[in-house]
Amino acid sequence: MERRAGIGRGRLGAARAPPQPETREMQAQSIEQITQGLQNATVGGRYRPSARPPRLNERPSHREERSTDSGNYSGPPSDPSSPEHQSLAQRVRAEVKTKEQKLMEDDMFDQGAHLQPAMKQKIEEGKFYGTSGTEVMLSSNFYRVDMRNMMRDERGRDVSWYQYRVDFKPAVDDVQKREELIDYIAENNTDIFPPLYIFEGTMIFAFSSLDEKKSKFIVKAKEKSIEVSLTLSNTFVPNNPLGVQVMNLINRKNIKDNLQLEQVQRSFFIKDRAIQVFSGGKTFEVWPGYSFAINTYEAGLFMVANIRAKVIPNYTVMDVLKATFQEAAEAVRSKPHLKNIESTKRIIGIQVRTHYNNKTYRIDDIAWDLSPQSEVRKADGKLFNFMDFFQDQYQIQIEEAVQPLLINRPKKRQQRRAVGADTNYLLPELCNLTGLDERTRKDFRVMRDLAVHTRKSPQMRSNELRKLIKYMKGKSQTQAAYMDRWGMMIGNKDQNPGNEEELFQVRGRELPPEELIMKCRGTGVLKTLQGSKEGDWDRTIKDWHMIETGSLENWGFVCTRRDQKRGSQFFSHLKDQGSKIGFRIEAPLVHVAETDRKDDINNAIASIFQNHYHNGVNTEMIFVLLPSRKADVYANVKLACMRRDRPVMSQCLLTSTIMADDKIAAVAFKVAMQMSCKLGGVPWQVKINLKNTMIIGIDTYHDTDRKGKNLTGFVSSYNKNATKWYSQTVQMCSKQEISDGLTHMMEGALEAWRYYNNNQLPDRIIIYRDGVGDGQLSYIHDHEVSKTSLFNLMIQILKRQLTKLTILLKLEKKQINQRFFRMNENGEEDNPYPGTVVDSKITRRDMYDFLLVSQKVRQGTVTPVHYNVIYDSTLNLNADKIQMISYKLTHLYFNWPGTIRVPAPCQYAHKLATLIGDHIHTEITDVEFASKPFYL
């Protein structure tokens, strides 16, 4: 082992060669700009004292006090003219130009950076708490993280952390081998290497610094030398976003190494407790596990722990390819290329786990023109083939010489960890599926058998969380000593002294059940009904008429000859159930197809169109009874009805759903309701207390089959009760979560409102944006909220009414880790009731946000939805109104007689985007057709 100094070595903090002479004013201005840039990349960084007032029910603190766990540490004021400050400014000025620093700043996005000043003030003043509803005490899956010992040394002095970039020459792709190299260097250079450090692929974070700003080490292994370079890239205090990232790394390393859990992406599993499940002729393993995430919330720094279950099928991607080839054997004889098409559809988008390094990848494409014998060029320019590579690197003999290569395209962050690789090639025979493919997910028996082990009740989940904390604290002396060295403590000892594993308590509110408006069957009078606390009116609706409905006279019924008798029985029930809700259904034009092949179905539909045309009537709807679940046949029906001259509503139903005599009436009732809604019917409504308000829902569909072509669904209400929706879609490139065509769709929404409201425009617009991650808020602000896009349109169209227009943009996120539980009458943890809101303590301190549970689940634990208000043009809606309207909208999804998880416009936008993206692949241009929910 030898050590060699790098070029440009020098003491940390030593001044570099001075630039061109500057005046003191110019220097101060430059330093101020750099400081401001650093503030934008951190939350409460060392240059800015915390100016945020205390929240309600929170002990006030003076500005000069330091928060120990919330990220609001304020260092001592510094003089811009001091040599220390100037040296720091010069170092930062050079380092922020690097690409790596820019990527790091992008990752550490400040959530409140793009909020309007008035909203920031509203957050600081704590004016986003609601008061309506009944207060309830809830327990949550949050555990406090105490980092006071990480912020100061033994003498009580503030400490800094050091970030080093690590480069390997030649490149070392295996992360485990990189860790072994770093550990070897640390053990053999204790005099100069930091005693306490954490390694993260290409970065080292340490409490202390190396003597040189750049150091090089040479490690000899297997008759070759590897040069390891460490370059100082950043210095920061523990309680900024980089510090939170480091704490997550420390916690994950502790769980992986000391608790010996197996890591799959960002979750950890106990492989020894795997459960074997045999179902559908296949074998699966279910691994129990956990996920962890440390972040700053309103009440401080917390670790959110959640229960996970990983389903591992016991077969490889090669097995899937062979099975697909065999299933498509008949089609392959006439059209050999079909085997590749079907295999691609089944493989693209799945997650796989490699045998040789236990890493997880997402399959983005298949290289049919490559094989293990093909030569591929590495990042350093050298050619290699996979047969030799796996033999030399992992001593693995490839059995199938003729197999395609799977392609994984890492994201930017993953490329940084993989030394810049933009494409990973994988071998099917060495990749196990880590989840379920689409075909398996549609197998009811398999999903039912797996749900026994994957869905945890609230009581089971909370008990598992308590066991986890006990396990973390009592596993071994090694892991306890590891956490003590870093100065991290995890547990809710402030709420439960001596019982730290208890769940964190938080106050919530149960909103009152929402009243429903329905039409009396006998008199036709609208009646207001008391809402259900369970958020379910499945039985109630059968006794009432739909508020708005019509009749179905000119329509076609298509079924196969085998299902003709069953189809006739179903129509009798359909007509009877339709009359119960006020929906009159006349006898259809029936056409019997010989088989369910696409040509036979197409001919049947065309025959119905032609017959109606000759009789001088327009076809209102096509109903197709399908004997099997074939995606291509279903898509063919939808496409056949999407005629350019005049699109027609379509309704598909599987024969298997009406085979049971005791269930056929219930199915007929739901189908009749759905058909009526597609034709413009309204089954129920709620009281929307916001006058002249347009509500918009936006969601994005990611198309894996069409290589980066994604679709945005956009639905907007055009009546005062938010029961009528105008639908639009626009296609866009991947990496662009919302398209630049939003302005065009907003214009269409306003024109639809104007058309149905006597040429008047709305006074208020509320936008619900579905599925936006924290890191996407900057893009959403720039492309949807900024005056250069959305407001530019508003100014052009609403010149006279702009003064009274209110625009409220709300983002909602479903894939979250937060869970909370209420105590039931038996003293056990249970799911909260629909309408439960939490807007304090476990919400984000830099956001105007709240968590809402809006649905009742029968199995497992309910997941709340995270709402984040990022723009309000007039700030005239208080928190109660915003929370209440969000809950009301979960009652207006007409495909389900109960509340749903998200507001109805978001669900409609999701259904719209999925239908167009999966099957139709073209935009709907017919205005009358787009004014009805054809996607239900």
**Mean per-residue pLDDT, 558-564:** 93
Q: What integer pLDDT is reported at residue 339 of this predicted model?
A: 65
Is the fold of 549-679 the same as that of 690-815+870-931? no
Region 13-41: mean pLDDT is 42
What's the pLDDT band for 655 if we cut at 50, 70, 90?
very high
What is the pLDDT, as a whole number, of residue 337? 55
pLDDT at 604 over 70: yes
- For the domain spanning 317-446, the CATH number is 2.170.260.10
| CB proximity list for 696: less than 8 A, separation 6 or greater | 714, 715, 716, 717, 746, 749, 765, 766, 767, 768, 905
Cis peptide before 313 (omega within 30 of 0): no
d(Cα 375, Cα 501) in Å, to the nearest integer? 54
- Alpha-carbon distance of 920 to 366, in angstroms, equals 24
Burial-class residue 624 by CB neighbours within 10 Å (0-12, 13-18, 19+): buried
Strand 584-585 to 865-872 pairing: unpaired
The topology (CATH level 3) of 549-679 is Rossmann fold (3.40.50)
In this structure, which topology does domain 690-815+870-931 adopt according to CATH? Nucleotidyltransferase; domain 5 (3.30.420)
Mean local confidence (pLDDT), 4-33: 38
In a 10 Å sphere around its CB, with 0-12 CB exposed, 13-18 middle and 19+ buried, how is residue 273 labelled? exposed
- Can you give the residue ranges of every domain in the chain? 160-236, 317-446, 549-679, 690-815+870-931
Predicted confidence (pLDDT) at residue 712 exceeds the cutoff of 90: no
pLDDT at 628: 86
Q: Is the pLDDT of residue 16 over 60?
A: no
Q: CA 249, 149, 298, 268: dihedral to nearest 10 degrees?
A: 30
Q: Which residues pair with 319 in a beta bridge?
A: none
Q: Which amino acid is at 820?
A: F
Distance (Å, whole) CA 407 – CA 367: 7
Q: What percent of the chain has pLDDT over 70?
A: 76
Helix axes 564-580, 664-678, angle to 10 degrees: 70
Q: Quick one: how far is CA 369 from the chain centroid?
A: 34
The residue-averaged pLDDT of 525-547 equals 90
Which residue spans within 314-374 are E strands per DSSP? Answer: 351-354, 360-362, 365-367
Q: What pLDDT is attached to residue 241?
A: 80
- Average pLDDT (727-737) is 69
Mean pLDDT of 267-279: 89
Distance CA 695, CA 909 (A): 12
Burial of 554 (0-12, 13-18, 19+ CB in 10 A): middle
- b/e per residue 379-405 (b: at least 16 CB within 10 A): eeeeeeebbebbeeeeebebeeeebbb
* Residue of 217 and 33 predicted with greater confidence: 217
Q: Are 829 and 822 in contact (CB under 8 A)?
A: yes
**Contact indicator for 469, 490 with CB cutoff of 8 Å:** yes
> What per-residue confidence (pLDDT) applies to 384?
82
Identify the pLDDT of residue 172.
83
Mean of the per-residue pLDDT values of the chain: 78
**pLDDT category, 631, cuts 50, 70, 90?**
confident
Looking at residue 92, its pLDDT comes to: 38
pLDDT confidence of residue 104: 38
pLDDT digits (tens, 9 = 90+) for 119-168: 666 666 666 788 999 999 999 999 988 877 676 666 667 778 889 999 98
Among 69-73, 227-231, 271-275, 826-830, which stretch is predicted with the lowest mean pLDDT? 69-73
| Window from 196-205, 497-506, 757-766 with minimum mean pLDDT | 497-506
Class of domain 160-236: alpha beta
pLDDT value, residue 789: 47
Distance of CA 929 to the CA centre of its chain: 31
Environment class of residue 912 by beta-carbon count within 10 Å: exposed (0-12), middle (13-18) or buried (19+)? buried
pLDDT in tens, 661-688: 999 999 999 999 999 999 999 999 999 9
The mean per-residue pLDDT over the stretch 577-600 comes to: 92
419: nearest Cα among 186, 176, 166, 228: 166
- How confident is residue 694, by pLDDT bands cut at 50, 70 and 90? very high
The pLDDT score that the predictor gives to residue 683 is: 95
Q: Which residues pair with 823 in a beta bridge?
A: 829
Rounding to the nearest 10 degrees, give the CA dihedral for residues 621, 622, 628, 633: -110
Question: What pLDDT does residue 666 have?
Answer: 93
Predicted structure pTM score: 0.80
HSE-CB for 223 with a 13 A CA cutoff:
0
pLDDT in the model for residue 177 = 86
pLDDT at 415: 53
pLDDT of residue 718: 95
739-795 pLDDT, tens digit per residue, is 467 778 888 898 899 999 998 888 888 989 876 655 555 555 555 555 444 544 554
**pLDDT at residue 641 tops 80:** yes
- Nearest to 857, CA basis, from 910, 889, 894, 900: 900
**Picking from 620-624, 726-730, 769-773, which range would have the lowest pLDDT averaged per residue?**
769-773
CA 114 → CA 121, 228, 736, 793, 848, distances in Å? 13, 40, 18, 20, 12
- Is the confidence at residue 272, as pLDDT, over 80? yes
